[in-house]
Amino acid sequence: MPVSTTSTNRLNKLFAEKNQNLLSIYFTAGYPALNSTLDIAEALEKAGADFLEVGFPYSDPVADGPTIQHSSQTALDSGMNLKVLFEQLSDLRKRITIPILLMGYVNPIVQYGVEAFCKKAAEVGVDGIIVPDLPMYEYESLYRKHFEDNNLSNIFLVTPQTSEERIRKIDDLSNSFIYLLSSSSITGGKLNLTNSIEEYYKRIKGMELNNPTIIGFGISDSTSFNKACQYANGAIVGSAFVKLLGEDNYLDKIPAFVESIKP
């Protein structure tokens, strides 16, 4: 049975209870080991992450830099796909209480079947989906019903080049938060707060949107995290954490990593 669209999911509850200095961590499902997904998620929750983005790998990750591309290829080589991921996530809510989003490209979702994907995501306890290459008009005209019927938030991305008209439209279509890209480049770069980027953040903040905003791309340490939180409700760390997962004893290093971002 689909979930009522009037339900409040974990993301909504999180933003209602705490709307500043929120830390989200991204990592790729199936990396560094095929069955590491829930162990990493559990360690991140215990270390103090506020919500998580679990990437499902794709063979042509056009928006990702070398670190996340490498993690995706490693996961694919190990046998990760959406079917395997959903099997792993069947125990998600026995171990994890914080909000979980899935992030990936539209092609694997369409191959799986959008309606089936949304139902399965809701069934295992996922709260939202981020699909960078899903056109807004396709979401609105073809897929919105499947997301809403299953109480899944669709997270839209905004770049410095996004027009105010489009941002307002995204705000109307959103029901949890809006993902602000710090630039139009690939993941894994540094957050260089040039005057134009600061103006972009100030412009978004001045629009007084209905939805909270979270900044991603280039957040790698406490300095960039704190700077991003001056303009948004929180920030997302991706490549810097995925690099850590390539080290020995990575689970033991997670608490110190999270504390280095958000003491």
Domains of the chain from N-terminus onward: 10-261 (3.20.20.70)
Q: Give me the pLDDT at residue 64, please.
A: 59
CB under 8 Å to 208, separation ≥6 — which residues?
A: none
Pair of tokens at residue 175:
């029901």
Judged by DSSP in three states, 35 sits in coil
- pLDDT for the residue numbered 1: 36
Q: Which two tokens stand for residue 214?
A: 């979270």
Instruction: With a cut of 90, say whether residue 12 has pLDDT above it.
Output: yes
DSSP state of 170: H
Q: Mean per-residue pLDDT for 20-28? A: 97
pLDDT at 69: 83
Dump pLDDT digits (tens) for 74-129.
Answer: 999 999 999 999 999 999 999 999 999 999 999 999 999 999 999 999 999 999 99
In tens, the pLDDT along 51-72 reads 999 999 887 655 556 888 889 9
User: What is the rounded distance in angstroms from the CA atom of residue 6 to the CA atom of residue 162?
Assistant: 29
Global pTM reads 0.91
Asked if pLDDT for residue 184 goes beyond 90, the answer is no
Average pLDDT of the chain? 90
Sequence-distant (6+) residues with CB within 8 A of 135 are none
- List of residues 6+ apart from 252 with CB closer than 8 A: none
Q: Express the helix, strand and coil content of the chain in percent, nearest 5 each.
A: 50, 15, 35
Is the sign of the CA dihedral 107, 140, 151, 12 positive or negative? positive
Q: Is the pLDDT of residue 261 over 50?
A: yes
Q: Which of 126, 144, 134 is nearest to 51 (CA)?
A: 126
**pLDDT tens digits, 186-229:** 444 455 555 677 888 899 999 999 999 999 988 899 998 998 99
Q: Provide the token pair at 111.
A: 């191959």
Catalytic residue positions?
Answer: 53, 64
**Mean pLDDT score, 224-237:** 94
Residue 240: DSSP 8-state: H
Segments of 17-71 assigned E as strands: 22-28, 51-55
SS3 call for 90: helix
